[in-house]
Structure 1
């Protein structure tokens, strides 16, 4: 079984808007819609959207979009919601969907503010994940300017860990391969790892990437799969980036 979690609980203060970030539109549809559709195109049967800031507005935006497309009934069985009442990091957000995750199959974790990722890219990463029986596969990208992104740190066995910008040494900051914020996990491994992560870091948050070292210690393989088109990891944090995403989407 393959399912997806979409992180959509944040406010998005840099958007300079009272609207939740993920409901800002790209070509007439909310950003989060594209993440849902990418997950479905990649073969996910069920999608859980993690909501927080103005949760009802996010849910209404998604439901209204599918209603306009005449897909209300179809999507009732596909999309569900989990509430993150406090913004305590990506690890905490995913933990809010523990019941949805369960212990069977695999789960793809996506961001509601990365509308450019495609089902094809996710499908390629999922195939690698399944073929190598990884506990977790991180979707990565090579960037000429990696500032701000978590770095993929490798060792002789493959993926060693992911280090956030604020916690990285100078040597680690020089690494060009970055974490896209998208992952594929074995459900049972993810649930076990989420119960062990802590908030002992510069941000005081529960980081989802911290599950990687834990899953590695379980004896499961972990790796990163680099996507061919680095544009697809572009997140939208400002109105300028929203316009850029719309331009890329239009050119497709």
Structure 2
């Protein structure tokens, strides 16, 4: 079975709003809706949304959107929730959905604040993941200005690791291939790796990208697959970025 996890627990302080970031709307629908739909249309049978800040408001927003589309029953059958009580990083957030992940099949991990990702991009990465038998496949992108993004560090065998901006050396910061924050994992490999992730980094958080080195050490292939359209990794962190995302969506 193919499943998806949507990370939607953060407050989004740069939005300058008391609303949870992922319920801010793009073309009349909450951002998180687009991530759920991309996962669904890429073949994910079940979706778990990780909620935290104002969790009930996020859940209500999702339910109300599907209800307005006449799809409430489908949403109830497909979408579930897991609570991240403390914001301790992306690795910790995904671990909150351990029961949902299980040991069978693959799971796609997406962000609730990247509404521009398409099902076509996800499908392409999922095919590559399955064909190559990867333990994890990272969806990456090439950016002229990669500041702020985790860098994809490759070796002669392919993907070596991902280094966050704050932990990167000067040489690593010069790399233009970046982590989109979207992944496909083998479920059993992900659960095993999450149990080994530590928080000895600049933020004191449990980083999901740290699972890559752990899965690689298991002997499973790991890779990064660049998407064709770098706009799709645009995260919405400010009201200005929300307007930009809406313009791109309109042009589609």
| Structure 2 residue matching 1:87: 3-state secondary structure | coil
Which residue of 1 is the match for residue 169 of structure 2? Answer: 169
Report deviation, 1:219. 0.1
Q: State the partner residue of 2:47.
A: 47
Structure 1 CA distance, aligned partners of 2:242 and 2:208? 25
- Give the whole-Å Cα distance in 1 for the aligned partners of 2:168 and 2:64: 42
Q: Deviations over 1:150-188 (max 9, x none)?
A: 000000110000000000000000000000000000000
2:10 counterpart residue number: 10
1:92 aligns with 2:92: yes
The answer to whether 1:154 aligns with 2:154 is: yes
1:107-153, CA deviations, whole angstroms, 9 ceiling, x for partnerless residues?
A: 00000000000000000000000000000000000000000000000
Distance 1:77 1:156 in 2: 44
1:65 aligned onto 2:65: yes
Give me the whole-angstrom Cα distance separating, in 1, the residues matched to 2:235 and 2:209.
17
Q: How many residues align?
A: 252
Give me the whole-angstrom Cα distance separating, in 2, the residues matched to 1:145 and 1:76.
40
How far did residue 233 of structure 1 move? 0.1
Partner secondary structure for residue 77 of structure 1: helix
Report 1:1-252 matches (<5 A): 1-252=1-252
Runs of 4+ in structure 1 deviating by more than 4 angstroms, as ranges, are: none
What is the CA–CA distance in structure 1 between the aligned matches of 2:135 and 2:115, rounded to whole Å? 26
Following TM superposition, by how much is the alpha carbon of 1:75 offset from its aligned partner in structure 2, in angstroms? 1.2
**SS class of match (1:185):** strand
Shift of 1:74: 1.2
For 2:76 and 2:176, locate their aligned partners in 1 and report how far apart those are by CA, in whole Å. 41
Separation (CA, whole Å) in 2 of partners of 1:180 and 1:151: 10
Q: Secondary structure at the match of 1:178?
A: strand
Q: Which runs of 5+ in 2 are unaligned?
A: none
Can you list the C-alpha shifts for 1:162-219, whole angstroms capped at 9, x where unaligned?
0000000000000000000000000000000000000000000000000000000000
* CA-CA distance at 1:51 after TM superposition: 0.1
SS at structure 2 position matched to 1:37: helix
Runs (5+) with no aligned partner, structure 1: none
Q: Distance in 1 between matches of 2:73 and 2:221?
A: 39
Between the aligned partners of 1:112 and 1:72, the Cα distance in structure 2 is 19
How much is the aligned-residue C-alpha RMSD, in angstroms? 0.2
Q: TM-score, normalised by structure 1?
A: 1.00
SS of 2:208's partner is: coil
Q: How far 1:62 sits from its partner (Å)?
A: 0.1
